[in-house]
Amino acid sequence: MSVAVERPRASWAEPVRLLAVRTAALSTVELQKLRSDHTELFTRMVQPVLWLLVFGQIFSRIRAIPTGDLPYLAYLTPGILAQSALFVAIFFGIQIIWERDAGILTKVMVTPTPRAAIIMAKRSRRACAGSPRSWSSCRWRCCSGSRSPSTRSNCSPPPSPRAQRRLLRLPVHGDRRHRPDPRPADGRRPAHDDAAVLRLQRPLPIEIMPTWLQVISQVNPLTYLVNALRGLLVGPREPVGRLRCARRAAVLGIIGAASVMGKLVR
């Protein structure tokens, strides 16, 4: 029988290895769960399309919202994606509580698994569950855009797989200290004038909102996430710094969530 003896502490590389292999192991389980329940993928795909269908169609017809030279559907898509990401994040937060109540989380936490790996695995499932959603909304937006001659020219091609992956990795947390950067960035569409660029930096044309909503949108991290998404999807391309800021916020989010995992199972 093997009985432990005091071993010298492992090197700094050990925690990194542990985090990587445990995240991989837990992610595999998350994907297996996802595979066993196809309805989740399907429902996530349908929801944003319904949003685009109802809101997008109505608002683009009535032309009530000034979006510059960009069709309203293209303008709306990043917001819908961000909103979907937020819903999925909330759902997975609830799911962690279910798993705690079911005792599964407790058992995982008694294995040599860093808390952060549990959060990272949830994120990867979130990304996979969300990918049909982003695909469906991008496709749908493009398909519906191409039906109308006035919007076809403005409809950007669907994002590359790399851009999609980047999108999916984006967190829903944001850096509150960050203020929108009015600098026009290196655009995919040089035709944009400065005013259009400025408008594009906002999730909705903020000027048409009541003042109290304008204040909220300035401090809402999602505003900046939507900006980043819009930059990736329809240009002008987001400054790298803003994406870095989103990534930093994700790391902070993971550390914060991992640090309360212990409390959660208590």
**Least distance from other proteins to the Cβ atom of residue 175, Å:** 31
Q: Which is nearest to 209 in space by CA: 196, 200, 201, 218?
A: 218
**Least distance from other proteins to the Cβ atom of residue 99, Å:** 9
Q: Which is nearest to 178 in space by CA: 212, 210, 221, 216?
A: 221
Nearer to other proteins, 126 or 173 (CB): 126
Nearer to other proteins, 5 or 62 (CB): 5
**Least distance from other proteins to the Cβ atom of residue 111, Å:** 4
Nearer to other proteins, 100 or 237 (CB): 100
CA dist list (Å): 6 to 14, 17, 60, 110, 113 = 17, 21, 68, 20, 20
Collapsed DSSP state (helix, strand, coil) of residue 190: coil
Nearer to other proteins, 6 or 194 (CB): 6
Nearer to other proteins, 241 or 262 (CB): 262
d(CA 233, CA 140): 14
Nearer to other proteins, 109 or 250 (CB): 109
Q: What angle do CA 94, 99, 100 make, to 5 degrees?
A: 95
Helix runs in 52-176, H state only: 57-62, 72-101, 104-109, 115-147, 149-152, 161-169
User: In what helix (H) or strand (E) does residue 216 lie, and over which residues does it extend?
Assistant: helix 211-219
Nearer to other proteins, 112 or 157 (CB): 112
d(CA 211, CA 214): 5
**Least distance from other proteins to the Cβ atom of residue 3, Å:** 5
Nearer to other proteins, 21 or 65 (CB): 21
Contact in structure between 123 and 30 (CB atoms under 8 Å): no
**Least distance from other proteins to the Cβ atom of residue 117, Å:** 9
**Least distance from other proteins to the Cβ atom of residue 258, Å:** 14
**Least distance from other proteins to the Cβ atom of residue 252, Å:** 23
* Interacting residues with other proteins (CB under 8 A): 1-7, 18, 21-22, 25-26, 28-29, 32-33, 36-37, 102-104, 106-114, 262, 265-266
CA dist list (Å): 120 to 92, 204, 228 = 12, 31, 22
Q: Which amino acid is at 64?
A: A
d(CA 171, CA 167): 9
**Least distance from other proteins to the Cβ atom of residue 32, Å:** 6
